[in-house]
Structure 1
């Protein structure tokens, strides 16, 4: 350990301990010999760090630091300066990390000589590394300010710089995940990354402050957000120590519960870390607290418009061709999530979703279904959900889909006269062999009515009385292989019938284009104009497309984008398939295949099936590649329906 680090550790121990400590106790905590501690405590350099405070020494008792409040604050500022301004390379082989680390924790410009010394390289070789740093900074609306004879500094709005700081720490490379001994809720990998930027004492002292905010809110943060809040508070301490403060956010109300909790947190941070935090930082803390997701929500967030929620679940069910409507757990989970999510969107606060890209890739079909059906809730609440929130909602739907009762799309009636033992046997055999079938009712043969025949997708008749109708299968009450074969044949015939019906309607719903548009704006304008001219949408549709992409990316991965606008502006539903000769930038992705969706209020079942079939294909890497190789509507038609029969 360097002498300067050891001195700072000794200062920190003496400041925190009110009782006398022996030299042996100090030596043990600093992990050096007693001789070294004696030498340090007498060193003029160390004594200068005390800012006039006195070391009281009593023989056979120990040593204690005696200081005024003013002297204590000066020593704490010295400690903070050491912790936050003295940068060490984050990783020896990553020069970009070292430079960014230095810039984020510096109160003034840094000269090239300092960078060169930290990296052990010449000034002339720094240009490529600085360019890397600048490219990363620009992603967060920041820049490097270069001034002759002064050096380089990181410039931008404080909100953007803290956002860069946060994502920089999250992306820091670590050798191997190790368990932290501070708190089980603090993710181990995040803790290791934080240790590369902050000392253990800072992290340790922030944990009880964050936990106290949970008590004041009468809730618990999710583990990921628990760690996120600790990290953002550590960043706040660094930036305030440098004299870099947030601007006030007038859009946030001062009468919210989170505002009062943020005020308490500010006062506690000032007290524990001996720094002065301006009032506007309360709004920053308030925004961070609002952005967190809770393990359970406060009482005022429990009620949500059930009618609106039911409609959303119904639309998602139709889009995915499943029945989620009777899943009480899904309704409860969505209700608990929606209210605080809507509140976050109203204040323009995003809750970081660490799984977003994985969700888009793995659950593309579900993500697109949500993205194209949630507009009713958005219109009612006058908001747009961002991609992070759509991803969280997607996880709730995926959880519901994984519950076996929700993947059964064929509602079935069983007619059985052989008693409850055979009823239970046939039901278990059918539902285990055919996951898409759910036997929702069992009756005796004399109870059968014409209304029942029309009410069910499929009727299985295991009695001796043979019945005849397109949706009735007469099976053996022992459910032999012949019975199973009959059901498979009926399901296959049903799918073939649906496929033939879709083939005839295919051209009325899809249009195909090949284009060489150079950017997203020109593509959207060109094809919105096409849809207006051909009576698919009104002129308001284009603006609603831009409203959507301003808040949430419509790029879904694999080089595919699904832009769409409000249902209110759709006259006739249509899907434009646009194949681009060159990929164009679409938010943070490159896109070369666009499905421009105009989805109306009176969307038909056939349109939903075609849309679902397309999205299912672009959920798979290989199928997406094959779809992109199609060069005409006829090739796409053949590919879509041939693929469906193989899947």
Structure 2
């Protein structure tokens, strides 16, 4: 909305008029504010591709944002410099920088939907109730836009076991008080992530923009106080946190203070409390920092809270890389590696090193599992794509090893173990020239797999070493030629750097090639895959008759390369997961409904925003056949209109909404995105079958339970 208005303004007014009436007219969105902050912190040229990848936008949208930023900067007599090869940069004198940073610390003129939803959630979770008119005035949005935002609010709260109630112009939350407090903390962690805390910790003196991080969640001085306290604890115990462990512990302390200030006390089983009280970490916390924290925050910290701090302390320490042969954790690691090698039928590359590193990892991982400390693995989705069924095999092996100790590892923890073991499954290469530093905040596992990926795909590069965020500050251009980091770097480096996934997917491989000026060894990898595929076919021929050898070879090669060889029809339940079913939505207009249906597809990475624009255009021009029966609309457009993968979303409304210029009443909208003409055929057959089932349609019209709908469809698929 703000961007469209700005573009119209810039095209219809002269530069002098724009400058003269700027503060009244030009708005800068929250996304544009973030881009501007990044340009200011970079103090060097920033390529547009990096902004496209980071914000998941099209190059055209990024360029439009930069145009608006350029005009916005004129009120501070600042300029956006362009270079065709190097990209964009902003050079500011100290006075300009101070004025702009002060402006950026304020809320932007226009907030995107995600930011609005987060702020609405924070308001309703923190207060007894909120007026809808206050939200309209606060965000300067239309009622239809607010209704869309409230749909997202309702869905988020339902996932937390809470209900969002709208009544007589007010909004409030209904549910257990403990769930409300937990939801508040979950929301906080989505905004104030460990990585952002880490950057704030290490850049607090050099990057004033980092103060934006805390917003209204915490006071900056509180964070500074706790940073000093935790450093003191490190010295007392002679330990060292990992970068991410340090930030996670500080964040835990900040959230604990919020609980205690609101008289929310946690309880713990007596046997576990006694076990933790006997540890040196508990005693150090009690003696060294508890008194200081109680005095500073004006709270009383009970023993249960100290015990929870102890759990985090045990799970976030950086273990020293010393010989652990024969230790309990070393024996567990060795048993896991031996079982993996036996299952694979070959030895892992560098198994001794893997056992050593895995033993170090298991010590803190077992503490996390034992004490129920939830940890999310941000690489899990990529790991599933990269390793597939190997993840399932690892979960069976690890949990079999852990069974005598009454421990069970979930998928997130298994993912971290796969990072260690997976580094031994990739072939090594020797020739190296470019010196590359790897930066990792979460331990040796992710850095090991990135190192192996680099050695495999870029054998002409030398890995100069693996460094923490803080160690990177000491590096010079005489030590390294480039940096590959798994976290954002908030200070200026003497050499170029990019942020990558440790699995180096294709997009990251292209960025590394551009950064280092070298070609990926992917051709050699493909040659190895062809040999492997041939070997698999020969083994198959020894045990079975093959109808089409060439086709089988192509399909195996495609599978090994991670791309589809055959286009398979997929069942409806695969293409319509639970998160894409939204039921009993409040009244809205047809355009908002179309955009919301596509939003559910976009959240799964199936479509782009242009897809909904095309469907809206088709409806407005009445060039469509979307209404397939009374009350049911089936909007869809062409693959060229922004479709990346195949899938469905399903919406129902409490009351029928007028659809399109013809105003036909619609209570059910199923949106389809199809990448080809075959994958969704089986799903459509199921869809037509359930539409002809009166019992299903009656249930669908009344139910709020998405799982009930999905299970009915699943049962129908099994019957077909």
| TM-score band, normalised by shorter chain | 0.3 to 0.5
With the length of structure 2 as denominator, give the TM-score of the two structures. Answer: 0.41
With the length of structure 1 as denominator, give the TM-score of the two structures. Answer: 0.45
